[in-house]
Structure 1
Amino acid sequence: MKERLNLTIDGDLLNSMKTYASKKQMSVSELVEGYFRTVTKPVKKKNILELMRELPKPVNNYEGDITEMYYKERASKYGF
């Protein structure tokens, strides 16, 4: 069910919005309704663990001790 809403906004802004709406082949009411839907939609926030689970798994092509690989690469980079 559609309801009426009266808004008071700056005249220059209204003209800009009418021009924008016309270019998008929409009404100003549709723009305002779309904006209201966007800002009132609940956002599901993910915790850090969920985000980490979604990361791609690293490819480990090294056979052997990862610590040994680290020290070898460090030695070659810094000359230790």
Structure 2
Amino acid sequence: MYRVATDRDAVLYDELRDLAHTKGAELHLVTGPAVPDRLGPRDLAALVPDIAERDVYVCGPPGMTTAVLRTLRELGVPGPQIHAERFSLAG
């Protein structure tokens, strides 16, 4: 899942799509305004019903990463299957 505000913001989309295709994975582009539950348990489980059986890689700003990590725990994804990196943009 690649979360951006608009399609135009998906600067790595082609590379991620190609990587997903190579690995036999699906890439979901999620666009729109930042809404608190946009990456909540219901939405993630709908996109990836077997998420608790997968390795999950999360990379993004601290607030988003924290929210997604909380959601993954709620969905029962085991800790060793969660890989996270937080970043912030320098001003």
Point out which structure has higher relative CO (alpha carbons under 8 A, 6+ apart): 2
TM-score by length of 2: 0.26
Larger of the two Rg values belongs to structure:
1
